[in-house]
Amino acid sequence: MGNNYVGTITKTLKFENDLPVSDGIFNEFRGEFRAEDYASGYTALKDYVKGEAFTYNVMSSFSIYGIEGQKVATIKLLNPYTPGEIR
């Protein structure tokens, strides 16, 4: 599970008494992302009843969307099983 926060400042220029005045519009975006069945008691119980002692459930990537829902980037995550896999 992870949380995200993105803040943007868009510079604006307006005139007061024929003089330019710079200002900024601040926008903030907060969100949360989590793997499917994250912290699911139902899934844990179901796996236990089936005799499965361990399931590996991770997010392999997440996408960032910008203005008007356009995809900006996809961030791929590293999900190591052992410390030796960490680079």
Instruction: Note the pLDDT of residue 27.
Output: 85
Instruction: Determine which helix (DSSP H) or strand (DSSP E) holds 58, and give its type and residue range.
Output: none
pTM of the model: 0.40
Q: What is the pLDDT along the chain (87 residues), one digit of tens a residue?
A: 777 787 888 888 888 888 888 888 888 888 887 777 777 888 888 888 888 766 566 677 888 888 788 999 898 877 766 777 666
Q: Which amino acid is at 75?
A: I
pLDDT for the residue 2: 76
Q: Give the separation between CA 85 and CA 37, rounded to whole angstroms.
A: 25
Give the C-alpha separation, 84 to 38, whole Å. Answer: 25
Report the distance separating Cα 9 and Cα 7, nearest Å. 7
CB atoms within 10 A of CB 46: 13
